[in-house]
Structure 1
Amino acid sequence: MDQLVAPRTDDHLSPYRAFSRDDWAALREDTPLSLEPAEVTRLRSVHDRLDMAEIEEIYLPLSRLLSLYVAATQRLFRAQQRFLNTIDAKVPYVIGVAGSVAAGKSTTARVLQALLARWPNVPKVDLITTDGFLFPNAVLQQEGLMDRKGFPESYDLPALLRFLSHIKAGRRPVRAPVYSHLVYDVVPNDWVEIDRPDILIVEGVNVLQTGRAPKDGKAIPFVSDFFDFSIYIDADEDVLRHWYVKRFLALRSTAFRDPKSYFRRYSQLTDDEAITMATDIWTRINLVNLEENILPTRQRAALILKKSETHRIAEVALRRL
């Protein structure tokens, strides 16, 4: 696995500018801290170590950068309206958050939602995960794809593309299906409505995935075509494996014990049995997905957040404009 998120800034061939943690933290300037410690605790995932220092040194500078990007995009949108002499509906600014299982995508997405919603103009910020666009388990079982869940072929891609197309067309409201991690399946006849937010965050392992380009030049949209900004949460493979196993052990004594849990059968495993099971799942499924589908999309992100084994972000790489 790669040890660096991108070539260093002295490599003139790199499309990224890399920042140490301290250099990035200095870019916060006077961006106010709007989250309380109790809110940070609620936002972090079960195995994450998000703290106030991470908010102040990493996410507040990122919030400031995104505020500049959103404002610039809004000015460009108004300029295009004047040029085309049209009165188009408000179009959400869409942020994609990608990365491996156990990398901390959900925490990053929730923190950004909380911070961006606290800007002075109080924008409406919505968040969805692409889990809701997975095919139901019944379909995956029928197609022999249960062990490929989370791989590109396990998603109803046309439905996800229609959703994003309607979002970018300014339609209201647009419905997204709901996924339950407890029952490990899409919830039938359950939807979340997205009604023209100012910002929409889309989180998922494969949101930066592309397909083979058509030889005839026909338009084949990708999910990332609808993004205005994208973030990849990065960490070395051995670190990700350790986090995944640790999370599995934590869930064994919490969510897995729920009678409705799809994984209830794992709640009675001993420590050694749980470590063996988690390692096997990681190696057979998540590592393969990471190497074949997720990691190759890293360099398509506008921003790469590289985590150390402590969950702290050690380096930030921002794509040059």
Structure 2
Amino acid sequence: MSYSEAPLAFPILIGDIGGTNARFSILVDAYAEPTRFPNVRTADFATIDEAIQQAVLDKTSVQPRSAILAIAGPIRGDDIPLTNCDWVVRPNVMISGLGLEDVLVINDFEAQALAIAAISDEHREPIGPARDTITASRAVLGPGTGLGVAGLVHAQRAWMPVPGEGGHIDLGPRSARDLQIWPHLVPLDGRISAEQVLCGRGIQYLYHAICTADGIEPSLKEPADITTAGLAGADKAAAETLSLFATYLGRVAGDIAMIFMARGGVYLSGGIPQKILPALQKPEFRAAFEDKAPHAAMLRSIPTYVVTHPLAALAGLSAYARMPGNFGVSTEGRRWRR
């Protein structure tokens, strides 16, 4: 492994590697549109190297010289396991086996942060009043399998992604209704974290807690069933689940906005915000986001958006690959070269 801030050489293989799906593209040069390849199910391939070879390299005559991979998992050492699948990213093996010269591995939510640096209006849906977007620090939250959080700090005329584990901050009750529901939520290691509620399984936990608090038998099982019934108003407990989910997400988003002083906006990424967009557009999300005395006026001035770009992480990685000088991405301990 070596440390270098030098730009990666084109063509560049770009990958967004999640627990269930992996998405790849190849960027031939700084001006070309990325060449997209069909999504890969991680369960269909024993290793990431096999997936890249069969699903990408065997389908094109372009031989990438470099790779930038965003992965859902901590990056420590030469063997990098993914959190929610059996793949292990081994950059040195990729270099020897796939003909690459240079491999950079970053956090998946770092890629989401890169994506919101210059996202266009067509790929974001405002929540609450539309405001002019200023060039200032931003933040992104992604309720999905878990709750990803990252900041994008603007300083020295560059965008600096700040990954972390913000989804594991504490989430506590505030209202009388919260106090009725909270004893029935499922704690993890003795506490309720934001991720325990603001994710796919969290929708289930919240729905069941509401039913238990009201002494009714849950009739819905899967998160998709709960969100569908809630959006349609077909189930009272499901409708309240979405209302409270939006409230709690607004509270956490407001906290993250203050932590990063995200005057440039807070962005909600991932599949869940897109699916429950009508619930987020109701007053509860913004009301909770802004309810941050003594800084309510500041929060009212911060815009919030749902990211609607279908491949936001790949777009963010491509932006970095084209113009690395515009971003303060740390490569130390995360870049391997031949």
TM-score (norm 1): 0.34
Greater relative CO (CA pairs within 8 A, separation 6+)? 1
Please identify which structure carries the higher helix content: 1
